[in-house]
Chain A
Amino acid sequence: MFINFFFDLKQASLPVSLKEYLMLMEAMNKRVVDSFNVNDFYYLSRSALVKDERYLDKFDRVFGHSFKGLESPESETTKEIPEEWLKLMGQKYLTDEEKKMIESLGGWDKLMETLKQRLEEQKKRHQGGSKWIGTGGTSPFGAYGYNPEGIRIGQKEGKNKKAVKVWDKREFSNLDGDVELGTRNIKIALRRLRKFAREGAETELDLDNTIKSTAHKGYIDVKMMPERRNKIKVLLFFDVGGSMDAHVKICEELFSAARTEFKHMEYFYYHNCLYDAVWKDNNRRYNDNIKTWDVLHTYPSDYKVIFVGDAEMSPYEITYPGGSVEFWNEESGETWLTRMLNVYENAIWLNPIPERYWDRIASTSIIKQIFSDRMFPLTIEGIDQAMRELNK
């Protein structure tokens, strides 16, 4: 049973290894948790097998799936709705007409059956999420009104904590790597790109080398070395306006995170696709733009290039001269992008649109092709992969 669980985890692509599984077995063997109830096993296995909060949610899901039907006996009692209690309630609150309506529906037993069915259905639909049924109105139980506000079925918070399966609560869902994107998370992902190197003026005392050299030469020979610096240099290109408006927040976050992470970072704006000019201030884009040629000539080829954009436009805007929606471009966007890629070997495209839609948008496929598949979704996972790619 545990082996199956382990393979389920593997299959869900959680990074679990044999060593960790053995560790869990050892812990079980040594009776780390006294009474072997399911919750303790859940805590123990989580602690032994999951090593990153990003995977906690996935782990919860797999655990729920693998040990479906395995519950502590207490929860049985809370799932069952005491029939007599409901009957009593009904007698207390129902008017005579309403009681008649129930009879016409097939009587109490029928009603209870429907209720049970409804419970099952609801559970399936929410996948163990919300346990409420009938919030007044839609279910017959609300409609016929045992109580003006409907009856809440399920167990109350705090009444019996054990009854709610802990892993069903999905408390860590917002830590999942594919979902959340905050400035801090982006920073961590961007940090992958850091590469420290000693470069520039020699200002620090190199103690080890000094000693070595002193011993070698027989007199004090002071050696200096340059300070360690992050030597990564980045050019960021942001798509602004139009279809990108929906993604402004996420781009802002990426931008502010990138700003503090890289010492040498230059940013430029473009619209939809790269043409012969870019700009730095969105308010003055028509007066104050920078020729793309100048960019290509100013920054040496060891800069890493990151494009951020949804790549959603008419394919003509990329492939044909004059395709731009805003002005007459002498050369096609494709020409410009290729030029850029020829200069900068390390370049990637970050796309805020979820990956599953990419194939359906013609322009996205074209750009992805131009970038030889180096297009990544703008999620933590995606940025992470992108940074690995840039580091190659």
Chain B
Amino acid sequence: MKFEGTSSYIATEDLKVAVNAAITLERPIIVKGEPGTGKTMLAHEVAKSLDAEIITWHIKSTTKAQQGLYEYDAVTRLRDSQLGDEKVKDIKNYISKGKLWNAFESDKRPVLLIDEIDKADIEFPNDLLLELDKMEFFVYETGETIKAQNRPIVIITSNNEKELPDAFLRRCFFHYIKFPDPNTMEEIVEVHYPDIKKDLIQEAFKIFYDIREVPGIKKKPSTSELIDWLKLLMTDDVDAKILREKDPKKLIPPLHGALLKNEQDVHLFERLAFISRRENENVE
């Protein structure tokens, strides 16, 4: 089993090494990175390239580790017992399986995505330590032990909102997806829009990386936003010439709403455009 990237996902060399190490050693891999660099996508693509089932577990601030294993529905059982339902005699009827259980039961080695683990309580990763290490857990209500038939490939994403406990980190591989350089970015765009005009890309990239460089910008545009913007440019059939426009009056790029997502950034950008316009006039 080896991950080599797919036709719709460009994986850098270091990412491939990290993912393959995690697959071979059967250990979880933690993926971090700027928002919009394709952390969640990675799990889907790994599943696709290995032809494995993907099981996703989205973590919220209220998610408990226990929910990933199983939940015992006491309230329904209580109600059933009042109504004299036959089901009440077997406790198994009231145990609902969690994502981890599903993953452990799978016949073929699945990919388990634990998305945005940092959203949960600080103790959450610690509560899963043993389960992810041994790939088994105990169900108290029925007294059975659930053991993974095939150790799933566990991919965990984090947005860095909380620090993860050291004990948890020690057991995982780690990869930080850095923001793609222009060459990689070109490949990524190529994968998404194979028939995009070369000159349009070039000009759009220049604008995109320039915007990212603007000092003091609050939210830097990310890969997924670039992809969206390019799509808009293509549907509007914007000519590369317009992007190349050096006329200071049109310094704000067309459809900039796709790149700048908060009004302070737009103001900042307009102000910078205004300043550079004035400078240009002075030169003339």
Residues of A within 8 A of B (CB): 15, 17, 19-20, 23, 26-27, 30, 32-33, 39-40, 43-44, 46-48, 50-53, 56, 158, 166, 171-172, 175, 183, 188, 191, 207, 211, 214
A51's contact among B14, B21, B161, B174, by CB below 8 Å, is which? B174
Besides the known contacts A17-B170, A32-B25, A44-B18, 19 further A-B residue pairs in the complex with CB atoms under 8 A apart: A19-B171, A20-B170, A27-B21, A27-B25, A39-B13, A43-B14, A43-B17, A43-B18, A47-B17, A47-B29, A50-B174, A51-B164, A51-B174, A52-B169, A52-B174, A166-B14, A171-B178, A175-B176, A191-B162
CB of B77 to closest CB in A, whole Å: 10
Bound complex: CA A171 to CA B24 (Å): 27
B17:A172 contact, CB within 8 angstroms = no
Residues of A within 8 A of B171 (CB): 19
Measured between beta carbons, the chain A residues less than 8 angstroms from B170 are 17, 19-20, 51
Q: Within the complex, which residue of B14, B32, B74 is in contact with A53, where a contact is CB–CB below 8 Å?
A: B32
* From A15, A39, A46, residue with most partner B Cβ within 10 Å: A46
Distance in angstroms between the alpha carbons of A27 and B22 in the assembled complex: 9
User: Chain A residues with Cβ under 8 A from B162's Cβ?
Assistant: 188, 191
Q: How many A-B residue pairs have CB under 8 A?
A: 76
**Which residues of chain B come closer than 8 Å to A26, judged between CB atoms?**
25
Could you pull out 19 A-B pairs where Cβ atoms are within 8 angstroms?
Answer: A26-B25, A27-B25, A30-B24, A32-B20, A32-B21, A32-B25, A39-B13, A43-B13, A44-B21, A47-B174, A50-B174, A51-B164, A51-B166, A52-B163, A52-B174, A53-B32, A53-B176, A175-B176, A188-B163
Residue B109 interfacial (CB < 8 Å): no
Q: Are A188 and B21 in contact (CB under 8 A)?
A: no
Q: Which residue of A lies closest to B175 (CB)?
A: A47
Given the interface pairs A15-B166, A23-B27, A188-B163, the reply to whether A48 lies near B173 with Cβ below 8 Å is yes
* Docked pose: A214 CA to B75 CA in angstroms: 11
B174 and A214 form a contact (CB under 8 A): no
B176–A56 CB distance below 8 A: yes
* Most B-side CB within 10 Å, residue of A32, A158, A183: A32
Q: What B residues does A33 contact at CB under 8 A?
A: 17, 20-21
**A23→B173 CA distance, assembly (Å):** 9
Q: Is B30 an interface residue when CB atoms closer than 8 A count as contact?
A: yes
**Contact: A51 with B169, CB < 8 Å?**
yes
Residues of chain B within 8 A (CB-CB) of A50 are 174
**What separation, in Å, do the CA atoms of A27 and B17 have in the docked complex?**
11
CA distance A158 to B17 in the complex (A): 21
Bound Cα distance A52, B32 (Å): 9
Within 8 A of A (CB), among B44-79: 74-75, 78
Q: Give chain A residues whose Cβ lies under 8 Å from the Cβ of B280.
A: none
B160 touches A188 (CB 8 A): yes
- Chain B residues near A171: list those with CB within 8 A: 178
Interface size for B (C-beta < 8 A) is 32
How far does the alpha carbon of A356 sit from the alpha carbon of B175 in the complex, in Å?
33
**Residues of B near any A CB (own CB < 8 A):** 13-14, 17-18, 20-21, 24-25, 27, 29-30, 32, 74-75, 78, 160-164, 166, 169-176, 178, 183, 218
The residue of chain B having its C-beta at the shortest distance from the C-beta of A157 within the complex is B183
- A331: min CB distance to chain B, Å: 41
CA distance A298 to B248 in the complex (A): 55
CA distance A15 to B29 in the complex (A): 18
Instruction: Pick the contact of A47: B18, B161, B178 (CB < 8 A).
Output: B18
Closest Cβ–Cβ distance, residue A160 to chain B (whole Å): 14
In the bound complex, residues from chain B placing their C-beta under 8 Å from that of A211 are 74-75, 78
CA A166 to CA B14, docked complex, whole Å: 10
A258 to B191, CA, bound (A): 41
Residues of B within 8 A of A214 (CB): 78
- Measured CA separation A27–B174 after assembly (Å): 14
> Could you say which residues of chain A place their CB within 8 Å of the CB of B78?
211, 214
Residues of chain A with a CB closer than 8 A to B32's CB: 53
Quick check: B25 and A188 within 8 Å, CB to CB? no
Q: Which residues of A contact B17 (CB under 8 A)?
A: 32-33, 40, 43-44, 47
Ordered nearest first, which 6 A-B pairs have the shortest CB separation?
A47-B18, A43-B17, A51-B169, A43-B14, A53-B176, A32-B21
Of chain A, the residue at the smallest CB distance from B218 is: A183
Q: Nearest-CB distance from B161 to chain A (Å)?
A: 7
In the assembled complex, the CB of A334 is this many whole angstroms from the nearest CB of chain B, namely 37
CB neighbours (8 Å) of B13 from chain A are 39-40, 43
B17, B24, B78, B162: residue with the most chain A Cβ atoms closer than 10 Å: B17
| B residues near A19, Cβ cutoff 8 Å | 170-171
Cα distance, A175 to B173, chains bound together (Å): 19
Q: Are A48 and B21 touching (Cβ within 8 A)?
A: yes
Q: How far is the CB of A52 from chain B (nearest CB, A)?
A: 8
**Once the chains are docked, how many angstroms separate the CA of A51 from the CA of B163?**
11
Contact check, A172 vs B178: say whether CB atoms are below 8 A apart: yes
Bound-state Cα–Cα, A211 to B20, Å: 47
Smallest CB separation, B39 vs chain A (Å) = 13
For B25, give its contact among A30, A40, A53 (CB under 8 Å): A30
Which A residue sits closest to B27, measured CB to CB? A23
Cα–Cα distance between A211 and B77 once the two chains are bound (Å): 11
Measured between alpha carbons, how far is A30 from B21 in the docked complex, in Å?
Answer: 9
CA A171 to CA B179, docked complex, whole Å: 10
- A153 CA / B218 CA spacing, docked (Å): 38
Nearest CB of A to B107, in Å: 24
Question: Which single residue of chain B is at the shortest CB-CB distance from A15?
Answer: B166
A214: nearest chain-B partner, CB-CB: B78
Interface core residue of B14, B30, B218 (most chain A CB under 10 Å): B14
CA of A175 to CA of B170, assembled, Å = 20
Q: How far, in angstroms, from A46 to B166 measured CA to CA in the complex? A: 16
Shortest distance from the beta carbon of B250 to any chain A beta carbon, whole Å: 31
Are A47's CB and B25's CB within 8 A? Answer: no
Residue of chain B at shortest CB distance from A17: B170
Could you tell me the distance between the alpha carbons of A207 and B64 in the complex, rounded to whole angstroms? 15
How far apart are the CA atoms of A158 and B184 in the complex, in Å?
12
Report Cα–Cα, A222/B142, bound state, in Å.
Answer: 27
A252 CB to nearest B CB, Å: 10
